[in-house]
Amino acid sequence: MNKCKVVLLTVSLSCLLKQKYRRSFSFQKRSARLATLSLADEMAKQSVSDDEIKAYYEANQKSFVQPEQVRVQYIDLSGSQIEKGIEVKDVEIEQYYQDNKAQFDDSAFSTYSICK
């Protein structure tokens, strides 16, 4: 983007004003001016040599170092912790069985024996 827009507000109000004061300020007139500046023109005015860049870097190396960062998230679960909060009644077990009977069908596990 070659243009940078700058908005100059002639009146600024703090957002932290109490509610009763905000109402009285809401009827005020505010005016703003819009200025469009060419970023390319400003960049053309700047000149920095490689030596200046290197000198600045050498003088400010600490500001360019970012320490290693690690983000760790985990949940520590054990069977005994989970069991503490669960109470299953016999009625619930029977209802689950009735609803999921197809899973517990023994026909797939039938055994055949042939005696001669």
DSSP state of 6: E
Residue with structure tokens 């500046």?
Answer: 37
Q: Which pLDDT does position 21 carry in this prediction?
A: 61
**How does residue 15 score in pLDDT terms, banded at 50, 70 and 90?**
very low
Read off the pTM: 0.28
DSSP state of 17: S
Q: Which pLDDT does position 19 carry in this prediction?
A: 57
Q: Which pLDDT does position 108 carry in this prediction?
A: 56
Compute the mean pLDDT over every residue in the chain, rounded to the nearest whole number.
75
Alpha carbon distance 46, 52 (integer Å): 13
The answer to whether the CB of 42 falls within 8 A of the CB of 3 is no
Q: Percent of the chain at pLDDT above 70?
A: 66
Q: Which pLDDT does position 116 carry in this prediction?
A: 59
The answer to whether the CB of 39 falls within 8 A of the CB of 66 is no
Q: What residue spans of the chain are helical by DSSP H?
A: 19-25, 39-45, 50-59, 79-84, 90-99
φ, ψ at 4 (rounded to 5°): -120, 125
For the stretch 46-82, pLDDT in tens is 888 999 999 999 999 988 888 888 999 988 878 777 7
Q: Which pLDDT does position 76 carry in this prediction?
A: 81
Q: Which pLDDT does position 20 carry in this prediction?
A: 58
